[in-house]
Amino acid sequence: MTGVPELIPLESQKEWLDKLFDENPYMNNVYPGESRKILDVFFIRNGEIEYFNLGVHPIFRESYGVGKGITKRKGYMISERCSLCGICEKSCPQRAISFKDKYYIRNENCLHCGLCYENCPVTAIERIED
């Protein structure tokens, strides 16, 4: 998750901290006894969540906006300079590159590792950066 954290007002910190520990009892193992007092409770009003499921093959990733947060496009794309050699498809560890009239990257399955980018002999792979 990315965004700008906003601190919960000081007068409400203990209430929220107690609630977090009640709902997540394993936190007592991480912050036993008085050590929880070092924590500050905050919230993120506007941000972005990027979800990864690494337990499937190919992996699955998706981004969501929170509040007024905007998701940013990330990863790689194959430009018109592509020579259709197929090296990118062979180099992708997640098999996230497919062919139908041209090669394209399924970004929801892409690790963003850049192997396709590094191995393209005609520099047809471009990084997406919003």
Domains and CATH numbers, the chain: 2-66 (no CATH), 74-129 (3.30.70.20)
Q: Is the confidence at residue 72, as pLDDT, over 90?
A: no
pLDDT in tens, 17-58: 999 999 999 999 999 999 999 999 999 999 999 998 999 999
Q: Give the SS3 label for residue 11.
A: helix
Strand partners, 50: 63
Q: What is the pLDDT of residue 121?
A: 98
Q: Percent of the chain at pLDDT above 70? A: 99
Q: How far apart are CA 103 and CA 106, in angstroms?
A: 10
Band of residue 76 on the pLDDT scale cut at 50, 70, 90: very high
pTM: 0.70
With cut-offs at 50, 70 and 90, classify the pLDDT of residue 73. Answer: confident
